Amino acid sequence: MSFIDFIDPVGFVLMLPALALALYAQFKVQSTFAKYLHVPARSGMTGAQVARALLNEAGLYDVPVEIIPGRLTDHYDPRTRTMRLSPEVYHGTSVASLGVAAHETGHALQHAENYIPLSVRNQLFPVAAFGSQLALPLFFIGLLFAAPGTGSWLMNLGIWFFAAAVAFQVVTLPVEFNASARAMQLLVSQGFIGRDEAPRTRAVLNAAALTYVAAAAVAAMQLLRLILLRNAREE
């Protein structure tokens, strides 16, 4: 196999649009969050207060709201049933802070309701995490050492492992979109943000959603690249 075959220029070109989308998504979420982090919500409540109020309203009194270092490190941990908010969200009173806090509350509500896409994602997570670590090493070992025309079970195994990671990224999309939709509905209906403030909060959540779309696109294109490489090696 030649060096040109190994670096796979066609596959690299195939990846470029998805990688460009990923870079744009990261820029978009960072810039949009920074922009609306300085726009205070009229309710004057902090992200932590909003999260606590929404959790209590849903009867989830036993889900703690904790602070975690970093920016945009906010997440809900279904294993410990704990919500963790970054300092800017936990203490923040902006439309951005409230949107992120409500979004993570949406995940807690999904978990409490056994929302099917979230359950599927949680079940896929161990396989996807394990597979994403092993998929590429297995594939490229098979690519380098398999005899032409005979196929390689290592390449196929790597592809299947990577397919699990792609499935995880894809099923993440409805989970994230649903959490954002819940967030907007709860924030407006319960008066934490006004209807005129909603477009700014929605802009933050939409920018965050784009990062998940980009991650799914990158993963899907990488999977396609592996399949094309495998097929070319088999010829």
Distance CA 147, CA 168 (A): 32
- Active-site residue list: 104
Is 165 in a helix, a strand, or coil? helix
Distance CA 167, CA 127 (A): 10
Q: What is the DSSP string of 8-72?
A: -HHHHHHHHHHHHHHHHHHHHHHHHHHHHTTSB-TT---HHHHHHHHHHHTT-TT--EEE-SSSS
Tokens of 123: 């079940």
Q: Residue 94 gets which letter from DSSP? A: B
Distance CA 39, CA 133 (A): 41
Is 85 in a helix, a strand, or coil? strand
Burial 91-127 (b: 16+ CB within 10 A, else e): ebbbbbbbbbbbbbbbbbbbbeeebebbbbbeebeee
**Nearest-CA neighbor of 160 among 134, 178, 183?**
134
